Amino acid sequence: MEKFKELGLDEHVLRVISNKKFEKPSEIQKKTIPIILEGKDLIAGSETGSGKTLAFGAGIIKNTKKDRKINALILTPTRELCEQVARSIEEFSYYKGLEVVAVYGGVSMNNQIKKLTMADIVVATPGRLLDHLRNNSIDLDNVKFLVLDEADRMWDMGFKEDVSKIVEACPKDRQTLLFSATISRELSEFSRKHMKSPIEIQASSYVDASKLKQIYYDVKDSEKFSLLIYLLKNEKAHLIMIFCNTRRNVDFVVKNLKEQGINAQAIHGGMSQEKRNTTLKRFDNSKVNVLVATDVAARGLDIKGVSHIYNYDIPMDARDYVHRIGRTARAGAEGIAINLLASRDYDNFSSVQKNNRELKIKNEMTPRFDKVFVKINREERQGRSFRRDNRQGNKRSYQRKDNRNSYNSRGRNDERKNREDNFPRHGFNAKRKRFINKFKKN
């Protein structure tokens, strides 16, 4: 506690920190809180989970009056992160009684309009905030603090223009804090234009690399799901997150996990915001222990007790990989990231490793496991047939081995068993050989 006091934190925040039993400030908090409290602009290179919400929250809470005018605006890339940051700031400002309002799309504007009339602090995603600006339902004239949280992600998601418009709608006389895992050239340009001599700080992640084990299994495309089932049933785990690259794969995995009696829930951008929020709450409260997610929906989430991360698909981008694995091994806990690699993942896996040479992902012997049946619905099957037929000019692999008509042409039902994914299998051996030469031999 003493260390927190030395940073000059507000007594209201100190009480919350004491209730939460935080022992000492994290690296980012130590490095940034004094600068923030001095009122200087800041660019902080930090990952999610570094404790940055308390870092910028501390400055905002100390200097925000409870006057129902928007003193601080925090922009986040995703709706989930927006909710999470708003909840954290609300918690940290509990004894000061500040009104924190989360503003994001996918839910009714009217509710937000009502709450905005009372807000001291607003946490928002850029798109919905612009809607409110156009609608004249938000007044940014009193904003003294502007925070861009996970700025790199906002830029990746194409929010650059929106963010610029919002920044221009804020008073010039303000403090601007930019938090980002990486600082690209574009972000530097932005900071030159919109920030006043910002101080740059770099801090490492809250994830403890020594407590995080990373492994990969090399498996046939057609057996990936079976291996996942085997591992889920045999690995001792608490909360588990399984990442897929597409919404379709998320739905496929969830549906088939449920078939296998595993209580899994999906979270992706195709679901209503209400459903996404309920799903996250259920996972956070350990009511479900397997969450299957796309990157966007899970970005930046801080959920305690995630012991296992599975990459059912390997992401294309090394940054997404790092964000995925950062959901585990948090705050001193142990964690494991398990990559399920089939031929379709080799290219992504190579590029993830090439772009982040610090990743140490060890090859693990694939255990013996039973094959399980999987179900694919009509839509997926049709998508796949179309692609395969066009590429290969035949339907051979859909024929049953006994040379009777395929399930498809017999129009048997919506579901097709025992084929698990919709990716072409041609080129498998060549890809596999290249992969083995590259990774396994050294």
Which residues form the interface with ligand AMP (CB under 6 A)?
A: 22, 25-26, 29, 48-54, 206, 302, 331
> Nearer Cβ to ligand AMP, position 13 or 140?
13
Do 237 and 286 contact (CB within 8 A), yes or no?
no
Minimum Å gap between C-beta 329 and ligand AMP is: 13
- For residues 58 and 72, give the distance between their C-alpha atoms in angstroms, rounded to a whole number: 12
> Nearer Cβ to ligand AMP, position 109 or 331?
331
Do 203 and 50 contact (CB within 8 A), yes or no?
yes
- For residues 11 and 274, give the distance between their C-alpha atoms in angstroms, rounded to a whole number: 35
Contacts by 18-25 with C-beta closer than 8 Å and gap 24+? 25/51
Minimum Å gap between C-beta 12 and ligand AMP is: 16
Residue 327 tokens read as: 């959901």
Minimum Å gap between C-beta 47 and ligand AMP is: 8
- For residues 131 and 141, give the distance between their C-alpha atoms in angstroms, rounded to a whole number: 17
DSSP 218: E
290 Cβ contact partners less than 8 Å away, ≥ 6 residues apart: 232, 240, 241, 242, 257, 262, 263, 264, 265
> Nearer Cβ to ligand AMP, position 48 or 307?
48
Minimum Å gap between C-beta 44 and ligand AMP is: 11
435 Cβ contact partners less than 8 Å away, ≥ 6 residues apart: 218, 341, 343, 346, 349, 350
Give, for 66, the enclosing helix (H) or strand (E).
none
Minimum Å gap between C-beta 19 and ligand AMP is: 11
Minimum Å gap between C-beta 224 and ligand AMP is: 32
Q: Rounded to 10 degrees, what is the CA torsion of 90, 54, 181, 240?
A: -70
